[in-house]
Structure 1
């Protein structure tokens, strides 16, 4: 098969949708190397130039001048000329006119946060996202949701029938599945000046992630919090609060660029706390499970689906619940061990070989 991909996020996003795209293509290339995987992008990439993939750009004048128009319309002709059997939109979009060119299509929809929580988005952005996602969901030959929660949202908001949507979970970077030697962990602890015992939170530091609630929950607990993620105005609010409460010694903001380093920090953490309001899936939870780090997360939405039956669930807005959960887990060695062991067992459904088999089945059914 020759499979084409919308690779905009693959090349341009360093986290989130970029990680999803790179992990998916890595998995497919490793497990099904005889297929041709062709990556279509509007800009000549400066990173992630993996061997084994063909990369295509807009070539003629109008497509070069208007790359967004090429991505939504003009690309269909190039796909036909490249003898692409299936086109996969990796981030909720597919180009128009694929059917006229006889090309089958798959679209991955990660979440519909802009519809579930419209207050978090600008009105114009909501309109644009809704139009693109709805078109893709209604015109793709197969819709892939990254969780049952997202599948239910697609059915609810777009009226797509159950049988048109498959759920294929998101994998995670192999760094989180590799054995960590103690010497390496010691070096990482020293490199990032990490305390002996600490709680970890990873993800963009923005209101819907509720990192502020963790900070408030820790105000009267003697345990440090390490926060890793893109900082926003919300992060500045947290820092101001931390300074006012004189908590700078135990609320630590760290910047980590290497995935291997991040995986080691997960392994070093005593506990991973992730009280997000809404996610399409919540890949940091999976990273924690693979790292054998106990998880405390939100008691609704996708979170029980991602974290499994042996994680600890809380109301993400309730600081007292979060505080109690942290105390309960840290005070019980037996609870920690069960959460580590059972969490790792639960994570095996996100293994590369499992996901690769599910993906190739989708493609084969369309080819």
Structure 2
């Protein structure tokens, strides 16, 4: 992956490197090794970009355990990353209460909590800290969580926001939620947008695209949904929109779900739409760029996202987006989307018809969206992160 990133963006080490020497930076890497959707993708992409663009620094990964597969292999390479695991203390307890001591023993100068948490008591040590906050869904939509989960998340988030040297939100929408719910001074909360995996910035050739479509038994022409199949992402309203859409273009659903997925499938059976929607099951992450680039549009009418990564993956693929104007989604999709009411299937169907009836509109949105997402280019976001690291370490923030 390191080589592929360099091939795409070039070697920026000469102009982007920190000239004062190397840093020892530690990370909560649990989700690097155990989460293969949003939080895990964020963590792995950021770490690989940092290692590629700033190879002079030492990157230390702290995790209770590891899972070995193709996506975690680079992070198990001792030539690239230093791995730290608990020797005796239970992993969950170590991650919350023992990690501060482990960071000090490893000589870490700055700790980055990649997903909402920092170790207890870290602010009492010499280790500086920053935390990434992705969303506050449990506060905006508490009915989606059990009381005990809400209490646990609030305990972790509140502690991290109060004690981290800097809080980084992945969107302005999330930043406003942090200020609203936790009352932090605005100067302590910074926005650094998320980027996406380097695979999505490469053009897939026709041979590879046809291989991927054949592998999953897909037609050449389809609409795409990417994301967990859960109520707030409104897949049910999307399939309801298929009935109102004047075009019979099929829909490909890439994402897993449980009860809500069964509700969607029940609706499809009841209305004779089973053949209009493809559920291929697990999709290899390496095949996603081909699917984005082959799709006529991405359907993503979520009611709340911390950022909305599928929107920028689609726009880097020059595929137009249908989404909602809620939470962070206008930040992610910008002028590359048609905006709909996510609770009104007729609104979604109208947007589908507009893109299918007006290829010039679809092409214009795709081009405007592609230009918009350059602000999320890995070079830009990684530079912002390293500048923040330098500020915190050098100033004692």
Unmatched 5+ stretches in structure 2: 1-22
Q: Does 1:34 align with 2:51?
A: no
Q: Does 1:258 align with 2:258?
A: no
Alpha-carbon distance between aligned partners in 2 of 1:199 and 1:121, rounded to the nearest angstrom: 31
Q: Does 1:359 align with 2:385?
A: yes
Q: TM-score, normalised by structure 1?
A: 0.97
Alpha-carbon distance between aligned partners in 1 of 2:66 and 2:134, rounded to the nearest angstrom: 25
Alpha-carbon distance between aligned partners in 1 of 2:356 and 2:329, rounded to the nearest angstrom: 21
Unmatched 5+ stretches in structure 1: none
| Match of residue 101 from structure 2 | 77
- 1:37 match: secondary structure: strand
| Match of residue 6 from structure 2 | none
Alpha-carbon distance between aligned partners in 1 of 2:128 and 2:244, rounded to the nearest angstrom: 57
Q: Is the 8 A contact 1:40 1:56 kept in 2?
A: yes
| Match of residue 241 from structure 1 | 267
Alpha-carbon distance between aligned partners in 2 of 1:333 and 1:19, rounded to the nearest angstrom: 32
Alpha-carbon distance between aligned partners in 2 of 1:117 and 1:274, rounded to the nearest angstrom: 18
Q: Is the 8 A contact 2:123 2:164 kept in 1?
A: no
Alpha-carbon distance between aligned partners in 2 of 1:233 and 1:36, rounded to the nearest angstrom: 44
Alpha-carbon distance between aligned partners in 1 of 2:309 and 2:163, rounded to the nearest angstrom: 28
Q: Alignment length, in residue pairs?
A: 363
Q: Quote the offset at 1:173 in angstroms.
A: 1.1
Question: Superposition RMSD on alpha carbons, in Å?
Answer: 1.0
**CA deviation profile, 1:175-228 (whole Å, cap 9, x unmatched):** 111111111111112111112221100100111110000100001431211111
Q: Quote the offset at 1:290 in angstroms.
A: 0.7
| Match of residue 68 from structure 2 | 46
- 1:39 match: secondary structure: strand
Alpha-carbon distance between aligned partners in 2 of 1:229 and 1:324, rounded to the nearest angstrom: 24
Q: Is the 8 A contact 2:26 2:59 kept in 1?
A: yes
| Match of residue 301 from structure 2 | 275
Tell which deviates more after alignment, 124-133 or 232-241: 232-241
Tell which deviates more after alignment, 182-191 or 86-95: 182-191
- 2:305 match: secondary structure: coil
| Match of residue 88 from structure 1 | 112
Q: Quote the offset at 1:309 in angstroms.
A: 2.0
Q: How does 1:1-367 map to 2 (within 5 A)?
A: 1-47=23-69, 48-50=72-74, 51=77, 52-59=80-87, 61=88, 63=89, 66-221=90-245, 222-367=248-393
- 1:186 match: secondary structure: helix
Q: Quote the offset at 1:74 in angstroms.
A: 1.1
Q: Is the 8 A contact 2:199 2:286 kept in 1?
A: yes
Q: Is the 8 A contact 1:213 1:318 kept in 2?
A: yes
Alpha-carbon distance between aligned partners in 1 of 2:168 and 2:203, rounded to the nearest angstrom: 31
Tell which deviates more after alignment, 220-229 or 75-84: 220-229
Alpha-carbon distance between aligned partners in 2 of 1:49 and 1:5, rounded to the nearest angstrom: 17
Alpha-carbon distance between aligned partners in 2 of 1:133 and 1:296, rounded to the nearest angstrom: 31
Alpha-carbon distance between aligned partners in 1 of 2:39 and 2:362, rounded to the nearest angstrom: 31
Alpha-carbon distance between aligned partners in 2 of 1:187 and 1:300, rounded to the nearest angstrom: 36
Q: TM-score, normalised by structure 2?
A: 0.90
Q: Is the 8 A contact 1:58 1:70 kept in 2?
A: yes
**CA deviation profile, 1:52-85 (whole Å, cap 9, x unmatched):** 00000012x3x1xx22121111111111111000
Q: Quote the offset at 1:256 in angstroms.
A: 3.9
Alpha-carbon distance between aligned partners in 2 of 1:17 and 1:140, rounded to the nearest angstrom: 19
Q: Is the 8 A contact 2:335 2:365 kept in 1?
A: no
Q: Is the 8 A contact 1:175 1:259 kept in 2?
A: no
